Amino acid sequence: MSYIGNQPTTVAFLTDQFSGNGSTTAFTLSAAPANTNSILVAISGVLQDPSTYSISGTTLTFSPAPPTGTGNISVRFLGIPASGVTTTAYRTVTEFTATAGQTTFTPPSYTVGYIDVYRNGAKLGAADFTATNGTTVVLASGASSGDLIQTVSFYVSSVLNAIPATNGAVTSAYLLDGSVTQAKLGTGVAGNGPAFSASRTTNQSFSGSTWTKIQFNTENWDTANCYDPSTNYRFTPNVAGYYLITLACDMVFTGTASVAGIGINKNGSYYSYSPVFYGTMNSGLGFNGSWVVNFNGSTDYVEAMIYSNGASPSVNGTSGNLFTGTLMRSA
Amino acid sequence: MTLHEKIINLYPELANHDFSRGSILLQNDSDGKGDYIAKWDHPTLPRPTDEELK
């Protein structure tokens, strides 16, 4: 097929398809058409008059509801309003040789307000022409035969469905899962998952030879409000993943002890009791322990535990005891 | 008398390591309910009854 101008190209028209059930009247389109004339709607293959449906944003509403049928409602978009990036697409210079009295000239489509008009090289003022419809220029007074009328116009177009390069325009929905690499992160960027630190500033006595929960009742920080410092003294992170849990504790007792240690319980039961020292210990001992624990981010929790078989053992509240936890890796 | 002392009185043969990280774990959840047997997996000695621990 012969043609004049640029070679035509074709694209597939966007089409949505829905299934009617005899009662549903509203259907959500994949794009918002300009109006009811911007789409072709067919039900069971029968083209519908635009007066039989309405458009509000992306909602297509029928009255009455289309009948039951699998994929029996077809919506073909004739055009989608442009959104996104506005750009000055191109500048066009067009020259005309006027005939006697000619007032109307037709340059390529232009954006209103983006056109200058020259007559024999002299730029015309705004009062000397009218260019308000994007397609024609009308001189206020007719040209003389042979006048050179030149238009310099710009056509400002939009890039369909482009994302503006403005702060906040790109959301995570536009990123491919797993596509953000370490190299794309700024220097010094760290995770911001839950982290806490709690301590105890007074002694806590406990029964000998009994694993006892330490009541760390003073929060140093608790970024996600996941540590309970007043009732259960436990860390219940609200983000699933692997956490580094640390416990530093000093215990004191009367006389000597032969077994003493610290550990953590997960969900109320033994998780790890270590370090535990065996041998003769006088008056007290300090411990440090660390563990990596997997949490489900909802119900899993850990508690700090202490043990000694010395007489009248207690947590030493004046030695800088610490119970901490921080997310190392998400699930 | 603590729970540990009651158990030792009942079973003097139990050693310290049985309680620290062995087959018997006594626990106190610091909730005001006191000590209790959280785990009893001793291979030969039966778990004491509540009556024996009174």
Q: Inter-chain contact B17–A278, Cβ cutoff 8 Å?
A: yes
Averages of pLDDT over each 10 residues, chain B, 54 residues:
94 92 92 95 95 92
**Total of domains in chain A:** 3
Q: What is the mean pLDDT of chain A?
A: 88
Contact by Cβ (8 Å): A28, A16: no
pLDDT band, residue A253 (cuts 50/70/90): very high
pLDDT of residue A81: 58
Please name which of A273, A267, A212 lies closest in space to residue A236, comparing C-alpha atoms.
A267
Q: Inter-chain contact A211–B26, Cβ cutoff 8 Å?
A: yes
| Residues A242, A307 within the same domain | yes
pLDDT of residue A7: 53
Nearest-CA distance from A239 to chain B in Å?
Answer: 25
Residue A174 located in a structural domain: no
Residues of B in contact with A204 (CB under 8 A): 30
Return the CA Rg of chain A.
38
A101 in the Ramachandran plot: left (φ > 0), alpha (ψ -120 to 50) or beta?
left
Say which CATH number the domain at A301 has: 2.60.120.40
A271 reaches B (C-beta below 8 A): no
Nearest-CA distance from B37 to chain A in Å?
Answer: 9
Q: Inter-chain contact A258–B26, Cβ cutoff 8 Å?
A: no
Residue A135: C-alpha distances to residues A107, A109, A151 (Å):
7, 5, 12
Residues 6+ apart with CB under 8 A from A140: A103, A127, A128, A129, A130
Of A26, A60, A85, the position where a domain reaches its end is A85
Chain B contacts in chain A segment 205-224 (CB below 8 A): 206-215
Residue A175 located in a structural domain: no
| Residues A64, A127 within the same domain | no
pLDDT of residue A154: 80
Residue B16: C-alpha distances to residues A80, A307, A314, B49 (Å):
79, 11, 18, 21
Contact by Cβ (8 Å): A268, A228: no
Q: Inter-chain contact A276–B21, Cβ cutoff 8 Å?
A: yes
| Residues A321, A231 within the same domain | yes
Contact by Cβ (8 Å): A67, A44: yes
| Residues A60, A140 within the same domain | no
Of A56, A85, A114, the position where a domain reaches its end is A85
Give per-residue burial for A183-196: e unless 16+ CB within 10 Å, then b. eeeeeeeeeebbbb
A276 reaches B (C-beta below 8 A): yes
pLDDT of residue A1: 46
pLDDT of residue A209: 93
Selected residue with higher pLDDT from A164 and A232: A232
Nearest residue on chain B to A215, alpha-carbon basis: B30
Please name which of A222, A229, A274, A232 lies closest in space to residue A249, comparing C-alpha atoms.
A274
Nearest-CA distance from A208 to chain B in Å?
Answer: 7
Q: Inter-chain contact B38–A270, Cβ cutoff 8 Å?
A: yes
A32 reaches B (C-beta below 8 A): no
Residue A149 located in a structural domain: yes
| Residues A252, A278 within the same domain | yes
Q: What percent of chain A has pLDDT over 70?
A: 90
Quick one: DSSP state of residue B48?
Answer: P
- CA-based end-to-end distance of chain A: 60
Q: What is the pLDDT of residues A168-224, one digit of tens each?
A: 878 888 888 889 888 888 888 888 999 999 999 899 999 999 999 999 999 999 999
A132 in the Ramachandran plot: left (φ > 0), alpha (ψ -120 to 50) or beta?
alpha
Omega before A275 within 30 of 0, i.e. cis: yes
Print the domain residue range for A50.
11-85
Residue A41 located in a structural domain: yes
Q: Give me the mean pLDDT over the A80-85 stretch.
A: 57
| Residues A200, A324 within the same domain | yes
